[in-house]
Structure 1
Amino acid sequence: MEAELAALAASGATTLVGLMVSETWTQARDRVARFFAGAGDEETVERELGASRAELIAAREAGDEGAAVDIEDAWRTRLRLALLSEPGAAEELRALLAQLAPEGNGARAGTVSNSVSGGTQYAPVFQAQQISGLTFHVQSPRGVERDGGER
């Protein structure tokens, strides 16, 4: 059971730190604060989360991966202690993680539909959330210039 709780704490800490630098942090922060506060002081937990977020952002901007790892480790330890001290905390954390990152790592399930129109396309059309470091070599069909005119 200890290994399962340690894995859950690690998953929770990774998700938490990832959320701290995401656009959805504000909504996530309130839920995470409620989890950690339990019947305690939610405002104190929110301040601690805010301080960790500020440190994490500064560490990432400075390229200090060690500091980012330290922040994740601190929250992993805190999650593990919460899971060990509260019998229902594991189920509560699982439910929280399912709400915050339903596809693991924050990916949202859904349907995407695209339509390319406006004439003949002489090259592949790509859509992605993020593409980096790729090079596409595309040749124009014979008899057609890149601007679409005939040669």
Structure 2
Amino acid sequence: MDAELAVLAGTAGTTLVTLLTTEAWQRVSDGITSLWRRAEPQRAEAISAELEVTRTDLLAARAAGDPDTDGELGAEWQGRIRRLLVAHPEEAAGLRALLDELRPVTPDAPAVTQHATASGHARVYQAGRDQHVGRS
């Protein structure tokens, strides 16, 4: 998979989880459901229901003071979106448009920008979170 699509899926998963407990949750849900409706219409209603479950889980976790659920659900949705983009890369533009539309309502979060250049036999390792590198 194109690294750019993987980053897009990661951003989408994080944005989705961040906004599902805000006033923008219905717009997020509608946008993600529409993405599936275009790519895999037979799954759109199930995705909509899963978004509702995710929202309920997030609200309960936050009420209970559970800080780990956000990351877990974000990773879960990142995986779903990544798999959708692998099967339907033409949906990347629609997802980017949705994220651009949601940007004004996304709570301030630290921006992470990574750039790397390698030449010769150099290796570059970058991560937005944990990274474990083993050499054999």
| Superposed pair shares fold, TM > 0.5 | yes
Greater RCO (Cα-Cα under 8 Å, separation 6 or more): 2
Residue 106 of structure 1 and its aligned partner are, at CA, apart by 5.4
Matched to 2:26, the amino acid is: T
Specify every segment of 5 or more residues in structure 2 that has no aligned partner in the other structure, as ranges: 109-136
Question: Which aligned segments of 4 or more residues in structure 1 are displaced greater than 4 angstroms?
Answer: none
Question: How far apart, CA to CA, are the structure 2 residues paired with 1:54 and 1:19?
Answer: 13
Tell me what 2:29 maps to. 29
Give the structure with the higher percent helix.
Answer: 2
The higher radius of gyration belongs to 1
Matched to 2:17, the amino acid is: V
Matched to 2:25, the amino acid is: W
Tell me what 1:105 maps to. 106
TM-score, L = length of structure 1: 0.63
Residue 3 of structure 1 and its aligned partner are, at CA, apart by 1.7
TM-score, L = length of structure 2: 0.70
Matched to 2:23, the amino acid is: E
Question: How far apart, CA to CA, are the structure 2 residues paired with 1:106 and 1:92?
Answer: 22
Tell me what 1:2 maps to. 2
For 1:104-143, what aligned pairs fall within 5 Å after superposition? 105=106
Matched to 2:61, the amino acid is: A
Specify every segment of 5 or more residues in structure 1 that has no aligned partner in the other structure, as ranges: 108-151
Q: How much is the aligned-residue C-alpha RMSD, in angstroms? A: 1.9
